[in-house]
C-alpha cells in the first residue's frame, strides 16, 4: 500500500470514527431500527436461508436485533470470530447466545467454531464497513479480515456492507487488495452499487 493511500484511509477512518462516537443514543436506536427493517427486507428479497452477519459494536449501525429476529425466523446466521492469522472463523448464531470480547475488544459470539470455509455456504453476506463509495468499493477499519475473506471466495454470493447514511460517499481511497461489495444497507435504504462485484 502506498503511503498516500494509507494516509488517506487513516484520515478518513479517523473522521468517520469521530462522527460515530458523536452520535446520540436516540440517533443510534433509530438507526438500529432502520437497519433491522432494511436487512429483513434484503434477506426476504434474496430468499436467503443462510447468511453471514456480525455483532455490532456500540458505535456501529446496530445489527443485534436483526440477528436475533433472523435466527427466530429460521435463518441460519454465521457470525465471525477473529483469528491471529488474519482469517475469520465462524459460529452459528443461537437465541440468547453468549458473547465475549474478541481479539480487538469487539463483540464476538461464543460457541462451536467453524473454519473459514464455512462462510462459502451462505446465500448472502452482511459485513461491517467504515464507508462505501458509489462504485461499491468498501473501506474497512484497516485489519483486512473481510477483504481476505471476500478475496478468497470462489463463488461469492451478494455482499452488502452496513453503514450509516452519511457513510455512503462518492469515493474512498483504494488499494489492490480492497474488495468491492454488491451494495450497502443504511438505516433508510438499501442500494445496489456493483451487482457483478467479484
Q: Cite the annotated binding site for substrate by residue number.
A: 55, 60
Annotated binding site: 9-13, 55, 60
> Phi/psi at 100 (nearest 5 deg)?
-140, 165
* Residue 52, beta-bridge partner list: 78, 125
Q: Nearest-5° angle of CA 177, CA 123, CA 179?
A: 10
Annotated binding site for ATP: 9-13
CA–CA dist 28, 49 (Å, integer) = 28
Which of 128, 160, 162 has its CA nearest to residue 144?
128
Q: From the CB of residue 131, how many other CB atoms can be counted at a distance below 10 Å? A: 24
Amino acid at each position: 500500500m502506498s503511503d498516500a493511500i494509507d494516509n488517506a484511509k487513516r484520515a478518513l477512518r479517523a473522521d468517520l470514527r469521530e462522527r460515530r462516537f458523536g452520535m446520540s443514543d436516540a440517533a443510534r436506536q433509530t438507526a438500529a431500527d432502520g437497519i433491522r427493517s432494511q436487512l429483513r427486507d434484503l434477506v426476504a428479497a434474496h430468499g436467503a436461508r443462510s447468511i453471514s452477519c456480525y455483532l455490532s459494536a456500540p458505535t456501529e449501525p446496530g445489527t443485534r436485533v436483526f440477528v436475533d429476529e433472523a435466527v427466530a425466523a429460521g435463518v441460519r446466521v454465521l457470525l465471525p470470530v477473529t483469528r491471529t492469522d488474519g482469517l475469520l472463523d465462524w459460529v452459528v448464531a443461537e437465541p440468547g447466545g453468549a458473547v465475549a470480547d474478541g481479539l480487538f475488544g469487539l463483540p464476538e459470539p461464543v460457541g462451536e467454531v467453524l473454519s473459514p470455509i464455512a462462510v462459502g455456504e451462505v446465500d448472502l453476506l452482511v459485513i461491517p464497513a467504515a464507508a462505501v463509495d458509489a462504485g461499491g468499493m468498501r473501506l474497512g477499519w484497516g485489519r483486512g479480515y473481510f477483504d481476505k475473506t471476500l478475496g478468497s471466495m470462489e463463488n461469492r454470493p451478494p455482499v452488502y456492507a452496513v453503514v450509516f447514511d452519511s457513510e455512503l460517499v462518492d469515493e474512498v481511497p483504494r488499494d489492490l487488495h480492497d474488495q468491492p461489495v454488491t451494495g450497502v444497507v443504511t438505516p433508510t435504504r438499501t442500494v445496489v452499487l456493483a451487482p457483478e462485484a467479484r
